[in-house]
Structure 1
Amino acid sequence: MKEQKPIYEEILNYTKDGRTYWVSLAINPVRDENGDLKNYIAVQADITATKKSALDAKYKLEAIGRANAVMEFDTKGIVLDVNQNYLDIIGYEKEELIGKHHEMMVDQHTSQSKEYKDLWDRLAKGEFVSGEFERYTKSGSKVILKGVFNPIFDINGKAIKVVKFATDITQEKTLERENERQQAELMNHMEAINKTIGSLEFDKKGKIVKANEIYLSITGFKLEDIAGKSYFDLLPEKDRFKPQYQLMWESLQNGKFFSGEFKQVDKNGHEVWLSGTINPIYDSAQNLEKVLLLAQFTTKSKQKLNELGGSVTAMKGVIPILELNTDFSLKNANPLFFEASGFSRMTLKAVDFANHFKLEKGVTQNTVLTDLENGKRVETYLEFKTNDGDWIGSKVSIAGVQNLDLELDKIIILFTGMVEQQLKLKNVN
């Protein structure tokens, strides 16, 4: 005022009771016809509401800036300002970006594309643009930003600059793509499973919801025949009220799964056998959602196994049988061999093969092992010394038993040539 200059200022004032308010104050000198200072005219206006609105906008922008990556451009794409969050993502220093074009953060193909040029044309016209954008850091690694380009307008409604707010979703997109890959892989696995094994899907109460084509074709059911029925309805009638099945479903609801062989009936009431698993399936909140049975039908194998078991049982009743380890130590025998030899289960393992058994000339333990390992059966003559010291001879059939790795696991000797008198059998007829 001493310099007689106009003054404009915004001033924070206080009322009598201590409340704050803002005024805009304009003071202008008034001069006479000679140009000398005559007086001052002061005009003030209450701008409290406007000031509150401006401060509110300022603090909101600061909060957005703390939570987001923010970059300002002119309408041609030249960087005007950038916050630290954005710098942390792309690895540049602030001075490396100011005055440079946004295209330094995209690849060459993108920078020369029509879509990229259209982006800046749209922003210059005042359009908002949002989406997910691939950008490149100073080191050349790719990041994915989710954000929005916001044009800023002057009082005439013309776009004068662009502010971009963004967040780094690179990790999120990586996880999303990995999840999509795993989902696709899972779907491929499930498709392969549906082509090779039977599946039944139950709701959490044990009611049938779905069945695949393999299950339906083998059992003869149509889905409408069994949909809504329970697992118990698929069991043979004599098994439906057995407590172990109720216990199994209670355990499934508590998170346990079951694997093994399962017996059911087909549409005609015939027994079918399945080998597989029954699995509880949970939703994202770890609540039981459904139960899935995946299994191969093993009815024919089961029948063959039963037939084989019956044959073996019948054979054990008429032919003395001796089991050996692959080193020719004695392992086990059936009752007919114990009766013929005078040995017991307790004394059998102490019997030395070399001292108590004689193979016919030209046949040795090594030649027998070689033949058995090659999948051959050995037909020969064998003598053995009983517990009383007597020697008994018989034609024998020697076979090998393989383990799951198809390696020779044990040796079986069938004394096929023993006569009833030599064996001292009782009640054979």
Structure 2
Amino acid sequence: MKRFIFLINFILVFHLANAQTKAISFDVNGLKVILKSTQKETVSMSMFFKGGVMNYNAERAGIENLALAAAATCGTKNYSVVDYQELADEYGIDISGSSRTDYGTISMDCISKYLDQGWKLFSDAVINPAFDKTEFQTTKERMITGIYHSQSDPETRIEQLTMESMFKDSPYSINPLGTSKTVGGFTAEMVSNYYHSELLNKNKMFLVVAGNITKEELEKKIQASFSGLKGKTYTPPVYDRKTLTGEHLVIEQRDIATNYMSCIMNAPTMTNADYYAFVLTINALSGSMNYELRTKLGLSYAPGATVKVQQIPYTSMFVSTTQPKKAFKAMISVYNNIREGKYGERYLEALKKEHRDRYYRHQESASSIVKDLGEAEVLGDYSITENMVANFNKVSLQDMKDSFAKYLKGAIWIYLGDEQVGRAAFQ
């Protein structure tokens, strides 16, 4: 009897604790805030800026990434560059800024007992960035070095080719890092003007926090630091979600020992009811590719498939190989097996368990919690990530087959390597 009562109490405590860790949202002076209180020894937060590459044209590619990086590193009106960096080092505070395809962020991580110090630096970087010219030049040179590295890295280049090919003639194809030419032409004044006129707008921003802090404590900090934040009219971008049809081949000649291949296909958005079944199907495709091309045939070290989750998502089935023709045939064979539904209930349950385990491991990090909640909010609603496990658990075998048939109807094949060998592989 005692054991039974203990078990009931344990379950009640568990569910109470679980309920307390659910993320909540609220507004403070018009700024949306998403908070997930935890018992972790670290606190993580990000100020999100909506729009991403839809905020600027190709001639200004990279300006937002540079603006947010510089805001987080080039001092503030209240702290010189040296003072800012010394305080961050003294208290182990990590502050950074960057921009991606759909959004930008200024982020801060610190241990809980130094939250006050971290908040001061973080909030000042958001509200009062100084864009110190000397430090700005250093930051800009670091960004340009990163651009050169991304162009020489085959895997990153494949991703860039994917965006350029799939969203040709659309602003969505813009590389958020920019080019060495565009970034090289930006001045501290230009970037400061962009930050203050285009980004610093509470209607375009929202704050996500995860850590050992209460709603009341966070509200007080926001009131003190962001009360002067202005709001301007913001119209969210409209995304042209066209469906791929037919098959197309894009080849870029590279003198490299290993050739890189990627098959790009359609995918549902994160807010679509088909999303969960589709992701599990692509997970099945990825696992089968790894077994067939790596373990069984030895054609590639790291083949797989994934869903690129963004405002206009896509599926990528990828492989790096010295034998493109054999790899291509093997990829098609695996694809056809998954399309025909050659897997059963036990395999589906294994896929669900793998996804649950990955989700819970990911939630162990405060910064991962912030990233997941923020991305979900950008793509539709932060609660998507909170309900993720339950929705994956509802998926049936028929759901997977239906989603595969519905979305995988067209393809763009991307090839990076020896052009002659590549063309022969796809014949």
Q: Same fold per TM (> 0.5)?
A: no
> Which structure has the bigger radius of gyration?
1
TM-score under structure 1 length normalisation: 0.21
Q: Which has the higher strand share?
A: 1
